[in-house]
Amino acid sequence: QCITHCPVGALRERDDTAKVMRAIEDPEVITVVQIAPAVRTAWGENLGLSPEEATVNRLAGAFRQLGVDYVFDTSFSADLTIMEEGSEFLHRLKAGDLARYPMFTSCCPGWVRFVKSQFPQLVGQLSTSKSPQQMFGAVVKSYFAQKLGVPPEKICCISVMPCLAKKTECDLPTMKGDSGCKDVDFALTTREVVRMIRAEHIDVAHIPETPFDRILNDYTGAGVIFGATGGVMEAALRSAYFLVTGENPPVDAFRDVRDSGLAGERQWREATFEIQGTPVRAAVVSGLGNTRALCRALLNGQVHYDFVEVMACPGGCAGGGGQPIHCDDKERAFTRGQVLYGLDQGMAVRFSHENQDVQALYRDYLEAPLSHRAERLLHTDHTAWDMP
């Protein structure tokens, strides 16, 4: 059995499984689970399931068996994040805000904490868009609660993440709606979910695959690749191109930002794309050592980019700190990331702006990306809290 906490017992992962089970068993509470894109690449690894068997819809089935009321895919709000972040990028590019330093993605709380403590002069360059986890919670506690006709306090939003930093992200004082309710009540890691499945003696191999619930269930290939390094950048560029030109680019036009899996690759990847005559210089980095090198190069003026994606874990969320641990020391982030790109290739819709449920959400509730309501619900102020 691998040790998943500090060997001297000084540091332990926070385990939220008992609190989540209490919420599920409480008949007064409506439980809503969201499953992050990267979880589907790994949740079956320690349960004896093959990658073909360990589908995200089978995991949805496991949650229904546990007694959860609604199950959704965070890929939905990954598409929503693209709508907000892509629009924000174009707005900041046009406003000349990126003349010196780029806009950074902000969906990785490990990176947000790193930049706040190590390079505070760059905090203003973070996208203000909340992460998909937080956007999902914000939509569930407002739009979805309204559709159900219940107050947001009645809903317990539980996320399943490949990540430990998501636990602290959902506890931030800024991650609340107008009612004062937390967007997300509990963030479980993939490992915690595996423990819950085992504790409840659920025979996952025989659980039927079940679809996600309406009305937040549509997701695209662009949302799915969020779980791999380069995925957020690629998804954002696909939709930024559409927002500028009114036409879709060839869907794989931005594949140069993907991880090649080759050893000895540079500390970060870069590519320049032209969108209606405007060059967009993009860079993608994962792992905090590489990120430190990139931040230094930016501050020294050695490199210049317009848009940078940062993921704290090497290989992105597919290799996240909350994913199953194996004793063979084999790095699985790249192979898991390839699973996500394979899923993207096979999907009928691969552009976030074509997500039907996201379009309905804007039509019925948010009006437009960066609208007043979207700013209140889906954006945050990274300077409004201090690092402990």
Please give the residue ranges that form the binding site for ligand SF4 (CB under 6 A): 108, 110, 162-163, 165-166, 311-313, 316-317, 320-321
Of 321 and 324, CB closest to ligand SF4: 321
Give the SS3 label for residue 326: coil
Nearer to ligand SF4, 168 or 371 (CB): 168
Q: How far is the CB of 159 from ligand SF4 (least distance, A)?
A: 11
The least distance separating ligand SF4 from the CB of residue 139, rounded to whole angstroms, comes to 19
8-state DSSP, 121 = G
Q: Which is nearer to ligand SF4, 271 or 311 (CB)?
A: 311
Q: In whole angstroms, how close is the CB of 284 to ligand SF4 at the nearest point?
A: 12
Phi and psi at 31, nearest 5°, equal -100, 130
State the nearest-atom distance from the C-beta of 115 to ligand SF4, in Å: 12
The answer to whether the peptide bond before residue 197 is cis (omega within 30 degrees of 0) is: no
Q: Name which of 92 and 166 has its Cβ closer to ligand SF4.
A: 166
What is the nearest approach in angstroms of ligand SF4 to the Cβ of residue 292?
15
Q: Which two tokens stand for residue 57?
A: 């819809």
For the CB of residue 270, give the shortest distance to ligand SF4 in the complex, in Å: 19
Phi, psi of 361 (to 5 degrees): -60, -40
Computed from CA positions of residues 257, 307, 323, 351, in that sequence, does the dihedral angle turn out positive or negative?
A: negative
| 64's tokens | 């229904």
Residue nearest to ligand SF4 (CB): 320
Where do we find the tokens 């598409």?
79
When the beta carbons of 86 and 287 are compared against ligand SF4, the nearer one is 287
DSSP assignments along 336-358, one per residue: HHHHHHHHHHT-S---GGG-HHH
Strand partners, 30: 155
Residue 21, token pair as written in the block: 């089970």
Q: Which of residues 113 and 304 has its CB atom nearest to ligand SF4 in the complex?
A: 113
- The phi, psi pair for 294, rounded to 5°, reads -65, -45
